[in-house]
Structure 1
Amino acid sequence: MEECYKECPVELAVKLIGGKWKLVILHQLATHGTKRFNELRKIFPDITQRTLTRQLRELEEDGLVNRKVYAEIPPKVEYALSETGESLIPLLLQLKEWSLSYIEQQVGRE
């Protein structure tokens, strides 16, 4: 890993899981297991095919997601958390709990 990330490891975390879609993709795979590409498209109808493809490629390149291609016609491709991706599950659950708490606080202010 690059030397600059040792100075600010949070920067590395943002690079790996930041953006609009990566966290929700990881959360979906963490809570519901292996998914095919089109299943993810149905779950996230607002994401374009290009963006989903790019996000999944980046997650795979960074070692957070495994991509399995089956030699079938039509091709079947599945995505699942890698072992490193699974290590994010506690963080994803904490983010979920924090979000729920934040929502409750905001509702209390109204």
Structure 2
Amino acid sequence: MEDDYKKWLTQFRKGYIELCTLMALKTKGSMHGIALIRFFEDMDLQVNEGTLYPLLNRMEQNGWLESTWNMPTTSGHPKREYIISKKGEIILPKLVETYDLHHESIKKIKGIK
């Protein structure tokens, strides 16, 4: 039973974190991975690097994000900066609408109005 729950949770979180990532980049502008993780922590959403980076790569392959390397001028390591793409801008309202509809359905099923 616990394995079933873990599988379901993994799938649920992938979609949910994708939605949250697009929303964060839409509202905050470009961000690198660690900045996204910190932003999510501030929003009480725990996302680790092992989850986020594969998700960012997949979202970029899907055309929802674009990235560039930010090279520091003095010291430090280069950081990959992510920004929402035109395709991401187009799909985001659809994802939010779908999330909202499903959230309302769950509330109705639970008997909350």
Aligned counterpart, 1:11 = none
The aligned runs of 1:1-110 (5 Å cut-off) are 19-45=15-41, 46-72=46-72, 73-74=75-76, 75-102=78-105, 104-105=107-108, 106=110, 108=112
Q: Report how far residue 90 of structure 1 moved.
A: 1.8
Identity %: 25
> Contact between 2:31 and 2:81, CA under 8 Å: does it hold in 1?
yes
- Tell me the SS of whatever aligns to 2:69: strand
Q: Report how far residue 63 of structure 1 moved.
A: 1.3
Give distance in 2, aligned partners of 1:103 and 1:28.
24
CA deviation profile, 1:25-74 (whole Å, cap 9, x unmatched): 22322333322211211133422212211110111122110111122242
Tell me the number of residue pairs that the alignment of Structure 1 and Structure 2 aligns. Answer: 92
Change (3 A) 1:99 1:19: closer
Unaligned residue ranges in structure 2 (runs of 5+): 1-13
Q: Report how far residue 20 of structure 1 moved.
A: 4.9
Question: What TM-score, normalized by structure 2, do the two folds share?
Answer: 0.63
Unaligned residue ranges in structure 1 (runs of 5+): 1-17
Q: Report how far residue 24 of structure 1 moved.
A: 2.2
Q: Quote the RMSD (CA, aligned, Å).
A: 2.5
Q: Report how far residue 101 of structure 1 moved.
A: 2.6
Give distance in 1, aligned partners of 2:64 and 2:94.
13
Give distance in 2, aligned partners of 1:31 and 1:95.
19
